[in-house]
Amino acid sequence: MLRGQAGRAGNGAVVAPRRRVDDDGGRLGSRRPGRSSDRRGTASQARDLGVRGPVGGKTGTTDEYHDAWFVGFSNSMVAAVWVGFDTPAPIGREAYAARVAVPIWADFMKRTARVRPPAPFAIPDGLRAEELCSVSYLRPVEQCPTYVEYFKDGDSVPSALCPVHKGTFKQQATRAVQGFFRSLGGKLKGVFRR
Ligand SMILES: [Zn+2]
């Protein structure tokens, strides 16, 4: 897994994890809208710990806190931190990866950033950024809190406007028209196919 991340991120240094562990879902750099709270949680934690620049990563914690790990990367460095005992035993109470592994990773990344400063990731061809509402994951209207989601060629990009936030008068009108066409549903599609 680490080697995979190193390959993707470029010329990263490799620190091998010692045990395989299950995944507990916390991560940075998530591409799934539903996980954005996880992403923000770990990302803002890394920022609070002084990590600067674009970074990504993934936490993991095993049952009963026997293992905690974080694999994270910038475009110039990949580092995996594993915390645990050689003879498996609980690390401690509430020893989540975010609590015990991420701070070690953040400290390492801050030190190495002086030697290998991180730069923005190159965006692959065929990938495009779309601003979406961070509540509905649909196209934003005026009052929506937004985030940027990346889509590759062939992905279905949301076309409907956010129904959660009010929007300008024009956006309300557009949404009403979209709703009208959607309510016609299959009948209308059938007409267009002929
Ligand atoms: Zn919205």
DSSP string, 62-123: -GGGSEEEEEEE-SS-EEEEEEE-SS-----TT--HHHHTHHHHHHHHHHHHTTS---PPPP
Tens of pLDDT along 2-18? Answer: 655 555 454 444 444 44
Q: CA-CA distances (angstroms) from residue 47 to 9, 104, 121, 146, 178?
A: 20, 13, 18, 20, 40
| Within a domain: 156 | yes
Verify that 100 and 16 share a domain, yes or no: yes
Examine the fold and report which residue of 57, 78, 113 is the final residue of a domain before the chain moves on: 113
Tens of pLDDT along 115-160? Answer: 999 998 888 889 999 999 999 999 999 999 999 998 999 999 999 9
Verify that 75 and 149 share a domain, yes or no: no
Distance (Å) from CA 146 to ligand 1 centroid: 8
Distance (Å) from CA 164 to ligand 1 centroid: 5
Distance (Å) from CA 172 to ligand 1 centroid: 12
Which residues form the domain of 155? 127-193
Distance (Å) from CA 168 to ligand 1 centroid: 12
Domain count of the fold of the chain: 2
Residue 38's pLDDT is: 44
Verify that 12 and 89 share a domain, yes or no: yes
Distance (Å) from CA 187 to ligand 1 centroid: 29
Ion ligand 1: residue ranges with CB closer than 5 A:
133, 135-136, 144, 162, 164-165
Residue 9 tokens read as 């991120």
